[in-house]
Amino acid sequence: MDDKRHGCRYRVCGFGNHIEQETVEFKEKLNAMQACSWCGVVSAKSKCLSCMHMVCQECLEDATKAGVTSCWIDKEKFDLKDGGDQLQHALGKKIVHCTNADNGCAYTGSLRDLDSHLSKGCTSYLTECFECAERVPFKDLVSHFRTCEGVAGVLLRGTDGRSILDDIRNASKELEQALTSTSSDVRDAVGLFTKQLENLRGQLTVRSGGQADNEKSEYCNQ
């Protein structure tokens, strides 16, 4: 990658789940008012201080919690100005490269469309299937889950199997909670993934020396 591209990278916040807090490569360098003056992040939720420094929502929240009322740069006591919506609109139109450009993706488009590209179009944005460990494009994850046959079987010691089953139960609870606050596409993927976790619980064969096979049933049915 050339120096010019490398010099236009910024961490972004508020432009989609797939790029949240990720480093994105912009085609052109942003001006000082388009990134947080305190931390450098490019945020969809920023405010302009009375001293004309732009600060992201996360930094403002940290400052509020710490009781800070002065700009960390010029130490001037600040009031908040409006204009955040205009900044978000302008940033959303900025042209960026795919976060998988180094892996062969040639996509360039607006920042506001990058998250959709990753979830629905990018063939280089890979994730690992929990069942078979195959790395598949995220855009194909739902269809892959529907046909994935997983592994033939798992042979584990009793203590290892018990630990994995506990992890699966905890992961299932967290995924179910996430379903209430995500988009429909993500809910579908998480729902299918949760089913795969439950299927794995049923497939685990726990054997440890002379332990009876009913040990597996005891933990899988909890």
pLDDT 10s digits, 57-66: 999 999 999 9
Instruction: Give the whole-angstrom CA distance, residue 207 versus residue 217.
Output: 11
**C-beta separation of 56 from 13 below 8 A:** yes
Who has greater pLDDT, 141 or 114? 114
Instruction: Give the separation between CA 197 and CA 23, rounded to whole angstroms.
Output: 31
Mean of per-residue pLDDT scores for the chain = 79
Q: pTM of the predicted model, to two decimals?
A: 0.62
Residues 160, 170: Cα–Cα separation, whole Å: 16
pLDDT band at 30 (very low <50, low <70, confident <90, very high): very high
Determine which helix (DSSP H) or strand (DSSP E) holds 97, and give its type and residue range.
strand 95-97
Q: Which residue ranges make up each domain of the chain?
A: 3-120, 126-220
Number of helices (H), then strands (E), in the chain: 8, 12
3-120 fold? Herpes Virus-1 (3.30.40)
At residue 147 the predicted structure's pLDDT band, cuts being 50, 70 and 90, is confident
